Amino acid sequence: MKLSSQKELSLMANTIRQDIIRMLVPAASGHTAGPLGLADIFSVLYFHEMSYDPKNPHWPDRDRLVLSNGHCAPVLYASMARAGYFPIEETLTLRKLGSRFQGHPSRHWMPEVENSSGPLGEGLAIACGIALAGKMDGKRWRVYCVTSDGEHQEGSTWEAAMFAAKYKLDNLVAICDRNYIQIDGNTEDIMPLGDLAEKYRAFGWHAISIDGHDIGAIISAFEQARGTKGKPTMIIAYTTPGKGVAEFERKYEWHGVAPNKEQAQKALAQLSEERKRIEEAKE
């Protein structure tokens, strides 16, 4: 299902946010802030940008999505369910024993995903390997890698950045969720990352900085990446962790905590009000 208008994509992002809340409550564990902050980006990825076939998840010509920050699995699961990979009701088994919806994506349990993830700092290297393979085989499909800002404190991320520039992987687009939080606090207090866009340019990448909640800016960044030849693209997406729920926004304490039933009811009420505002707004 492809959505053409920014309003439709905003509504899908709102749907994804509500799905995230609903799946976290019965799990009684998991990550809240990051998935909510990434909903706009995933809405554009799955319902505007990427080519795939949910009825044939291993279609050879599909675009590949590598989720490096695997703790943000709820936003991936909600997006894939809404795209038709599996029933949305099944996502309510998140983190349950025997469920394919593990707390971090696993190809053992869910072969529809491109990579197992959990340990941070590995995803960009995985994406580089996939992108190089596509280049060597002369394929036209593209590779998208979603990363966190906190995992840029891992040296392996920067080794992958050098690799991608060396092999001119212009079929690779990475998105850094620049939300400034990690499990113990603000990234700039724990290990300052500074200007990530400038760092990536120094490593030989094309770098774009955007508001990660501006649907038009997200679409434009992907279009710019498609037009960039001879180097990979990094999109630094400035996002609000916990986006859409006042109690959760910008609070690192919600990095790895799930809402209880009362908190979830309040969150869903806020998101429902936001949905009404989107629906009533002019195109």
pTM for this prediction? 0.96
- Comparing CA positions, the residue from 139, 168, 187 lying closest to residue 231 is 168
State the residue for tokens 């941070």: 120
Domains located in the chain, CATH noted: 6-280 (3.40.50.970)
What pLDDT is recorded for position 3? 85
DSSP annotation of 191: S
Q: What tens-digit pLDDT sequence spans the chain (283 residues)?
A: 788 799 999 999 999 999 999 999 999 999 999 999 999 999 999 999 999 999 999 999 999 999 999 999 999 999 999 999 999 999 999 999 999 999 999 999 999 999 999 889 999 999 999 999 999 999 999 999 999 999 999 999 999 999 999 999 999 999 999 999 998 899 999 999 999 999 999 999 999 999 999 999 999 999 999 999 999 999 999 999 999 999 999 998 989 899 999 999 999 999 999 999 999 987 7
What pLDDT is recorded for position 119? 86
Handedness of CA 39, 44, 47, 51 (dihedral sign): negative
Are 152 and 159 in contact, with CB atoms under 8 Å apart? Answer: no
What pLDDT is recorded for position 2? 85
Rounded CA separation 122/158 (Å): 10
Are 30 and 94 in contact, with CB atoms under 8 Å apart? Answer: yes
> What three-state secondary structure class fits 58?
coil
Are 91 and 35 in contact, with CB atoms under 8 Å apart? Answer: no
Rounded CA separation 201/5 (Å): 32
